[in-house]
Amino acid sequence: MFVKLSNLHIQAFVRAIEPYRDVIRFILCLLAAHFFWKFTVIADEHGGGPIVWMGWDISAPFDILSAHITRVCYWVISHLRNTIRLIPPDVLRFDSGISIGIVWSCTALKQSFIWLVIMLFARGCWKRKLWFIPFGWLCIYVFNIFRITTVALLVEYHHNWFDFLHTYLFKYLFYGMLFLLWVWWVEKIGKKSTRLSPQVKGRNNPHDFSAGEEDNKE
């Protein structure tokens, strides 16, 4: 009886969480990817040392990307203000004396990895995932440029805003953007077409009385 009661409780629990299954999967994938990255990618958060994963030095792609992002952000900001200088490979310096270093953790590779894990385990059409995953990476790249550029422009004259903007506001906006992309996938892009052909639709439509009416006429 205990086993039967337990099975009934399990079935009831499964039915209760069914509407939230995709959300639970999203949260679990996000947390799993976050902690996997946190405990396997070893590096100084402020830069200045090697980046190690599972004993392998993986600094090269981070160095290349941080230098690239620095150049792009410099190009954007220099079109808005003439008070900035680029100090290669990855430092932006304002005439006000404020300097911003684009270190490895600013490359958004972590968020790109998290997005990949979320989408690999998300329900939906795999053919559409082949283009939607890179589309998400593009959105992450653009948002990251926007994030760094905005933070740099704001802290030029308000350097005490840096911790709030960098550590809190844009960090959670970043994950909010990932969530919105995922919602778009679940609600629109990832759904397979369930349209029925006219013949099948007519046979299964409970309000289609044409066949019955013909029988009555006979």
Q: Tell me the CB-side half-sphere exposure of residue 26, using CA atoms within 13 A.
A: 15
CA dist 38 → 11, 28, 45 (Å): 35, 15, 11
Structure tokens at 143: 């948002």
What is the predicted pLDDT for the residue at 135?
Answer: 98
DSSP-assigned letter for residue 19 = G
Share of the chain above pLDDT 90, in %: 71
**Higher pLDDT residue, 83 or 47?**
83
**Reported confidence tier of residue 92, pLDDT bands at 50, 70, 90:** very high
| Among candidate residues 111, 102, 98, the one with its CA nearest the CA of residue 47 | 102
- The distance from CA 58 to its chain's CA centroid, rounded to whole angstroms, is 22
What is the predicted pLDDT for the residue at 58?
Answer: 94
CA 160, 166, 171: angle at the middle one, nearest 5?
150
CA distance 162 to 171: 12
**Reported confidence tier of residue 82, pLDDT bands at 50, 70, 90:** very high
Structure tokens at 89: 């490979």
**Reported confidence tier of residue 84, pLDDT bands at 50, 70, 90:** very high
User: pLDDT tens across 125-145, in order?
Assistant: 999 999 999 999 999 999 999
User: pLDDT tens across 150-203, in order?
Assistant: 999 999 989 899 999 999 999 999 999 999 999 999 999 987 643 444 444 444
User: pLDDT tens across 17-33, in order?
Assistant: 677 789 999 999 999 99
What is the predicted pLDDT for the residue at 200?
Answer: 43
**Reported confidence tier of residue 218, pLDDT bands at 50, 70, 90:** very low
CA distance 191 to 125: 7
Residue type, 108: A
3-state secondary structure of 197: coil
Q: What is the mean pLDDT of residues 91-117?
A: 95
Structure tokens at 35: 């902690």
Residue 110: is its pLDDT beyond 90?
A: yes
User: pLDDT tens across 199-216, in order?
Assistant: 444 444 444 433 344 444
pTM confidence score: 0.81
